[in-house]
Amino acid sequence: MNNAVQNAQPAAAEVVRTARHGAVVCVTLDSPPVNALSSAVRKGLWRAIEEAEADSSVQAIVLVGQGGNFIAGADIREFGKPPVPPTLPELCKRIEVCNKPVVAVLNGAVLGGGLEIAMAAHHRIALADARLGLPEVQLGLMPGAGGTVRTPYLIGAQAALDMMLSGRHVKAQEAFDLGLVDRLVEGDNAETVGLACVRELLDQGLVVRRARDAGGLANAAEAQAAIDAAKADVAKKSRGLFSPGKIVESVQAALELPFDEAIAFERQAFLACLDSPQRAGLIHAFFSERETAKVPEARAATPRKVSALGVIGGGTMGVGITVAALDAGLPVTMVERDAEAIARGQANVEKVYDALVSKGRMSEAGKSAVMARYTPSTRYEDVRDADLVIEAVFEDIETKKAVFKELDRVCKPGAVLGTNTSFLDIDAIAASISRPQDVIGLHFFSPANVMKLLEIVVPAKASAEVVATAFDLARKLRKTPVRAGVCDGFIGNRIMAVYKQAVDGIMEDGASPYEIDEALRGFGYPMGTFQVADLAGGDIGWATRKRRAATRDPRARYVHVADRLCERGWFGQKTGRGFYLYPQGARTGQPDPEVLAILDEERDKKGIIPRKFTPEEIVRRYMAAMINEGARVVEEGIALRPLDVDVTFLAGYGFPRYRGGPMKYADMVGLDTVLADLQEFSREDPLFWKPAALLERLVAEGKKFESLN
């Protein structure tokens, strides 16, 4: 991120303009990209309200946002910096106490502090495209400018808690039905329709009407019941998150305390959230997910037009990619080797939509419209007009090369040729055809229509235009793209291979797979490593280990337990047992005493006397291995920046979002602490735990990974 650009603060007068229209003052916020409430915007708004109030000829004040949005919230970039007055709660109060009617005209994003400003105003008018929300919870925060008080005053505790705990965006019509908006207006220019509407309201006798006088909490018993239900729900679902509990406490305060005291209570709760490492992690995740698309090639080149896609392969990945593209409105031609295989591919695509139809989330007509974009084929010639083709066949370099040879033969000049390989050498695939500049890795994660991550793997000869096209495709498919270099496993699978080795070592040295999984869930993962292995299928990891056997460093520690399970045909959920037992097709596994016996046998063979590991020690080792390999991946340029590693794990591997990703976590724990851990562990196994040079350098220079973002 460019700090100079980030820190450049425009003057208040530049970002907030006022204009007189008879007796009405129109206050326009113009602070691209989303009118976030920076200190300059807050100052400008404050001044505009003061001036309008002081002018006896003014009868009403209209607030509008320029550029398609009202206000997307507090300026997230200011969090963690010293506060600059006026604060947002002060500004909201200033608007609320204004003795002239203030009307907020809502369009586009009306989020967080933006909605709080609107609720502090006396009337709310919404255009059809307005989306209102209090999404602070997704940033580890809570509404902190009166939102936890004014929202229940306006729409009742239940609806307010739903909005604040989910962070969901409410469309204009729903906001009107809830009573959050007073009037819906047609038109697309907020200023024009807002002014016309206010003139009409003035004719009808527009007066000041404050949220603090609204009756949303009048039925105390009903409000208490909603609060109690929310409290129970938070306890059940919020998995270690801090701010949901604070939101509920603040609504309780809104019910019990006088209005101003409840606002003061909210402020303290908000500041506690602001101070939490979860806020730092979640805001890092928010910005990082937007940064990963900013790669040199996307800046330097214009993407090629992609309006038709080819997918080679109708297996799990081919189907998922096809569905992702169909959902994005792209026509897809899927090619399989014979009639039977393509029939299976087509059936699997249809199955995804049938499931939506049966859940009532799609109509039959909707399914037909999507399927009309899908063309099954058994001939490569049918992708000759495709702008981009993605190969998703069996993970074997010769098979892939054979597919690329066909693509080289049939595809039109300039078509982008993507491979969905998860580890193979894409440079070698590119070198095998006559147009290596058009080849790119598009590593989707399974299920490809659901998982957000798309690793865009850039081989040496890929043209900038091709890279830019891949990023543009990710945007169209609503994926989170991360640029990766070519190596075995790219960013994600390469790092995963290393922390899995660490986990295997912990297991062989004494912790059971069940203790390890529990420790990882305690850290915030939805599932532990062994649960994931059972879900993915043990045979997949087994094949990878066999493939790597020839190149494995003979000095490296190798734990045989997983192989022993695979030799017995225990591949996880699909075979009814793996590290866990799944009796009668159960989805949740049970610990298996036979697995523990196999583990003991393996320990005996190596003369290992098992020792105890605390959950904290398990996590320390797991994270140290992950961070160390993450540092290597950055050092080698496989990842552009540490934040690319973070986003890979957040979007593709279930890393707990509130921890910001492995590299952010390392910064928060302290790189010196991580290095000290590695040094301590390396006394047992110097080869595996050798600290990455980049980590050592950063510690020596007193810097963080953040300095490389």
Determine which one of 116, 336, 508, 629 is catalytic.
116
Number of neighbouring beta carbons within 10 Å of residue 351? 11
CB nearer to ligand 3H9: pick between 119 and 332: 119
**Least Å distance between CB 287 and ligand 3H9?**
6
Contact flag: residue 147 with ligand 3H9 (CB under 6 A): yes
Task: Give dist(CA 595, CA 412) in Å, integer.
Answer: 54
Choose among 82, 155, 84: nearest CA to 118: 155
Choose among 135, 224, 126, 142: nearest CA to 175: 126
Stretch that binds ligand 3H9, among 134-142, 419-427, 538-546, 683-691 (CB under 6 A): 134-142
**Least Å distance between CB 502 and ligand 3H9?**
34
CB nearer to ligand 3H9: pick between 400 and 641: 641
Stretch that binds ligand 3H9, among 110-118, 207-215, 503-511, 656-664 (CB under 6 A): 110-118
Contact flag: residue 144 with ligand 3H9 (CB under 6 A): yes
Of residues 28-57, those binding ligand 3H9 (CB under 6 A): 33-34, 36
- For the residues of 182-206, what is the DSSP string, one character each? SEEE--S-HHHHHHHHHHHHHHTT-
- For the residues of 362-422, what is the DSSP string, one character each? S-HHHHHHHHTTEEEES-GGGGTT-SEEEE---S-HHHHHHHHHHHHHHSPTT-EEEE--S
**Least Å distance between CB 38 and ligand 3H9?**
8
Task: Give dist(CA 262, CA 257) in Å, integer.
Answer: 5
Contact flag: residue 312 with ligand 3H9 (CB under 6 A): no
Contact flag: residue 320 with ligand 3H9 (CB under 6 A): no
Residue 110: what residue type?
Answer: V
Task: Give dist(CA 16, CA 30) in Å, integer.
Answer: 6
- For the residues of 501-526, what is the DSSP string, one character each? HHHHHHHHHT--HHHHHHHHHHHT-S
CB nearer to ligand 3H9: pick between 74 and 155: 74
**Least Å distance between CB 358 and ligand 3H9?**
31
CB nearer to ligand 3H9: pick between 109 and 462: 109
Contact flag: residue 667 with ligand 3H9 (CB under 6 A): no
Determine which one of 50, 90, 96, 136 is catalytic.
136
Number of neighbouring beta carbons within 10 Å of residue 369? 12
CB nearer to ligand 3H9: pick between 31 and 463: 31
Structure tokens of 367? 């399914």
Choose among 242, 625, 225, 292: nearest CA to 453: 292
Task: Give dist(CA 404, CA 477) in Å, integer.
Answer: 23
Contact flag: residue 76 with ligand 3H9 (CB under 6 A): yes
Choose among 413, 386, 392, 378: nearest CA to 310: 386
**Least Å distance between CB 241 and ligand 3H9?**
15
Contact flag: residue 135 with ligand 3H9 (CB under 6 A): yes
**Least Å distance between CB 702 and ligand 3H9?**
28
Contact flag: residue 81 with ligand 3H9 (CB under 6 A): no
Contact flag: residue 77 with ligand 3H9 (CB under 6 A): yes
CB nearer to ligand 3H9: pick between 136 and 472: 136
Is 116 labeled as catalytic in the residue annotation? yes
CB nearer to ligand 3H9: pick between 145 and 295: 145
Task: Give dist(CA 112, CA 71) in Å, integer.
Answer: 8
Contact flag: residue 63 with ligand 3H9 (CB under 6 A): no
Contact flag: residue 74 with ligand 3H9 (CB under 6 A): yes
Is 465 labeled as catalytic in the residue annotation? no
Q: State the alpha helices, DSSP H only, in 1-143.
A: 3-7, 12-15, 39-54, 88-97, 113-120
**Least Å distance between CB 115 and ligand 3H9?**
8
Structure tokens of 654? 């279930």
Choose among 282, 332, 686, 303: nearest CA to 524: 282
Of residues 114-133, those binding ligand 3H9 (CB under 6 A): 116
Q: Report whether 512 contacts 618 (CB < 8 A).
A: no
* Secondary structure string (H, E, C) spanning 314-338: CCHHHHHHHHHHHHCCCCEEEECCC
CB nearer to ligand 3H9: pick between 295 and 457: 295
Stretch that binds ligand 3H9, among 141-149, 337-345, 460-468, 552-560 (CB under 6 A): 141-149
Buried b / exposed e along 560-571 (16+ C-beta atoms within 10 A): bbbbebbeeebb
CB nearer to ligand 3H9: pick between 88 and 433: 88
Stretch that binds ligand 3H9, among 58-66, 69-77, 425-433, 520-528 (CB under 6 A): 69-77
Tell me which residues touch ligand 3H9 (CB under 6 A): 33-34, 36, 72-77, 88, 109, 111-113, 116, 135-136, 139, 141, 143-145, 147, 287, 290
| Catalytic sites, residue numbers | 116, 136
